[in-house]
Amino acid sequence: MALKEYRDSGHCRYSRERRNDLSIHTKRNYRQVRQSLSPRFDRSSRRCTYEQGHDFRTRDRQLIRRPSFRSTSTAATVDNDDDIEEESNNEYCSGGYHPVKIGDRFANSRYIAIHKLGWGHFSTVWLIRDQLHGRYYAMKVVKSAKHYSETALDEIKMLEKITHTSPSSVGARFVTDIADHFMVDGPNGRHVCMTFQVLGENLLALIKRYDHRGIPVPLVKQIAKQMLLGLDYLHRQCGIIHTDLKPENVLMYLENVEDLIRDNLDKKQDQHRRIRHHSSGRGSHVLPSDPLGCSLTQDRNKPMSNIHIKIADLGNACWLDKHFTEDIQTRQYRSPEVIFGGKWDAGADIWSLACMIFELLTGSYLFDPQKDRSFSRDDDHLAQMIELVGPMRPEFALSGKRSREFFDCHGYLRHIRRLRYWNLEDVLYDKYSFSRKDARAIASFLLPMLQFERRATAGDLLHHSWLEDTAPKLTG
């Protein structure tokens, strides 16, 4: 499957709400009807009609498959929805997965496989124990085909750059680094293996924990500041662009992860015995993913007051001065210049971050484009951006290799002529019931990240007033 098809395959189903296509007359009385109405998208007119019985802020996220690479993260808890199956046994072939079994040893017997954490299109991920130091790590075992191996070796170079550039920098604390890497030979070829610190759940799990109604603002501020510090380190000091920022690729750090792992392992001895029986008694190489179940806090009913995150999964990252592909970013977090084939840089990450922060605050995608007989998903995506942020300068709109597919010679959209503008502050106030003051403050923080041109940098945004009282405090 082509990379673009793979990325878009899980992001194309209709959600239950349509964020940016409400007409002005509908907005006028929105706050009075929000609790009793739910939008239904009318494809033929690009308008929203309404059904009784749903809250606008509720979205059925389980209808939206987000396969990407979230189950190959270094998370201690892999977010396995009921509709997520294991990898195909047919991919345990030449160029495919390495058949790992519990108890297998790696790197001259230094590491021993404890159980399977998850899998993804490129690799499987295992909890391993370092026999030398007695610590636990997550090990990613990459498929052996040449293009997967080359991608993994590029990822290792970037991870080592992150690890060694300035480990004492405050921003380095918020980016995952690599602990070790080595090769393993098996029946399906030679596989690249990487080991990482074991981390907690991803931010999508946190969104779900708050029922897609928005994470408390103080926590979102902490996440935003840590993300900016991590991105400033990546962009300015390491010269790396992540290119695939989204909630699944940001993991929560657990202070007591070793204790949590040991506790979970004690509780899972029977499961491990069943898995060993499973692996030895069948012809299949596929073992069931076995999440550790480390909770976000010791008591899930206890409100969180602090959070520590790490930007993870640099499998799609590139250098500032060397792009490996022009096909980047998951659909809902994709920047306009990437859509129409323009030049892109670290600002693409900043655009994705704005989309992420909005999602953390509201539980909803900022942009969730659909296609119709008369316009493509890319057409709708660009239209939603313009409706929210305002018109693009023709010079910008026409600067990409694919611009003529979407814009006429004057820089107007070719296939969607009727736009309904709704600025970000009003969206937050009218639709999500933020106070006018809070809506204005949030919009003032996010809009510099959503500029079509001269987009703010991570370093610029660290000193924004919305983050003024948020740890970690910065000097200078």
- Per-residue pLDDT tens for 32-45? 333 333 333 333 33
| Per-residue confidence (pLDDT) for residue 154, from 0 to 100 | 95
Does 371 belong to an annotated binding site?
no
Place of tokens 């080595």: 182
Which one-letter amino acid corresponds to residue 433?
Answer: S
| Per-residue confidence (pLDDT) for residue 254, from 0 to 100 | 82
Instruction: Output 409 or 64, whichever has higher pLDDT.
Output: 409
d(CA 67, CA 117): 15
Residue 136 has pLDDT above 90, yes or no: yes
Q: Which of 10-24, 162-176, 428-442 has the weakest average pLDDT?
A: 10-24
Residue 48 has pLDDT above 60, yes or no: no
| Per-residue confidence (pLDDT) for residue 284, from 0 to 100 | 66
| Per-residue confidence (pLDDT) for residue 439, from 0 to 100 | 98
Residue 93 has pLDDT above 60, yes or no: yes
| Per-residue confidence (pLDDT) for residue 16, from 0 to 100 | 29
53-64: average pLDDT: 29
d(CA 107, CA 130): 10
Cβ within 8 Å of residue 55, ≥6 positions away? 34, 35, 38
95-128: b (≥16 Cβ within 10 Å) or e: ebbbbbebebebbeebbbbbbbbbbbbbbbbbbb
> In the numeric block, which tokens belong to residue 474?
């910065």
Query: Which residues does residue 352 pair with via DSSP β-bridges, in sequence order?
Result: none
Phi-psi sector, 441: left (phi>0), alpha (psi -120 to 50), beta: alpha
Q: Which of 209-218, 276-285, 460-469 has the weakest average pLDDT?
A: 276-285
Compute CA distances 271 → 40, 78, 114, whole Å: 45, 16, 12
Annotated active-site residue 211? The verdict is no
Average pLDDT over the chain, rounded to an integer: 81
- Phi, psi angles (nearest 5°) of residue 392: -90, 145
The strand order across the sheet containing 111-119 reads: 105-106, 111-119, 123-130, 136-142, 189-196, 178-186
Instruction: Output 190 or 53, whichever has higher pLDDT.
Output: 190
To the nearest whole percent, how much of the chain has pLDDT over 90?
66
Which one-letter amino acid corresponds to residue 288?
Answer: P
Instruction: Output 297 or 393, whichever has higher pLDDT.
Output: 393
| Per-residue confidence (pLDDT) for residue 117, from 0 to 100 | 87
| Per-residue confidence (pLDDT) for residue 303, from 0 to 100 | 74
Residue 129 has pLDDT above 60, yes or no: yes
| Per-residue confidence (pLDDT) for residue 300, from 0 to 100 | 56
Max avg pLDDT among 7-21, 51-65, 294-308, 350-364 = 350-364
Residue 268 CA, chain-centre distance (Å), reads 29
Residue 89 has pLDDT above 60, yes or no: yes
- The sign one gets for the Cα dihedral 399, 403, 407, 408 is positive
Model confidence over 448-465: pLDDT tens digits?
Answer: 999 999 999 999 999 999
| Per-residue confidence (pLDDT) for residue 8, from 0 to 100 | 39
Residue 72 has pLDDT above 80, yes or no: no
SS (H, E, C) the chain: CCHHHHHHHCCCCCCCCCCCCCCHHHHHCHHHHHHHEEEEEECCCCEEEEEECCCCCCCCHHHCCCCCCHHHCCECCCCCCCCCCCCCHHHCCCCCCCCCCCCCEECCCCEEEEEEEEECCCEEEEEEEECCCCCEEEEEEECCCHHHHHHHHHHHHHHHHHHHHCCCCHHHHHECCEEEEEEEEECCEEEEEEEECCECCEHHHHHHHCCCCCCCHHHHHHHHHHHHHHHHHHHHHHCEECCCCCHHHEEECCCCHHHHHHHHHHHCHHHHHHHHHHHHHCCCCCCCCCCCCCCCCCCCCCCCCCCCEEECCCCCCEECCECCCCCCCCHHHCCHHHHCCCCCCCHHHHHHHHHHHHHHHHCCCCCCCCCCCCCCHHHHHHHHHHHHHCCCCHHHHCCCCCHHHHECCCCCECCCCCCCCCCHHHHHHHHCCCCHHHHHHHHHHHHHHHCCCCCCCHHHHCCCHHHCCCCCCCCC
Residue 366 has pLDDT above 90, yes or no: yes
Q: CA neighbours within 13 Å on the CB side: how many for 21?
A: 27
Residue 79 has pLDDT above 80, yes or no: no
Local confidence band at 301 (pLDDT 50, 70, 90 cut-offs): low
| Per-residue confidence (pLDDT) for residue 258, from 0 to 100 | 84
To the nearest whole percent, how much of the chain has pLDDT over 70?
75
Domains of the chain in start order, with CATH, are: 77-198+256-281 (3.30.200.20), 203-253+304-467 (1.10.510.10)
Q: Beta strand pairing status for 250-252 and 189-196?
A: unpaired
- 205 and 77 Cβ atoms separated by less than 8 Å: yes
Cβ within 8 Å of residue 244, ≥6 positions away? 68, 313, 315, 316, 317, 328, 329, 330, 333, 352
The length of the chain in residues reads 476
> In the numeric block, which tokens belong to residue 88?
């195909």
Local confidence band at 473 (pLDDT 50, 70, 90 cut-offs): confident
| Per-residue confidence (pLDDT) for residue 24, from 0 to 100 | 27
Model confidence over 231-279: pLDDT tens digits?
Answer: 999 999 999 999 999 999 999 988 888 888 887 777 666 555 555 555 4
Place of tokens 């995150």: 309
| Per-residue confidence (pLDDT) for residue 476, from 0 to 100 | 60
d(CA 58, CA 47): 19
Q: Which of 244, 290, 349, 430 is catalytic?
A: 244
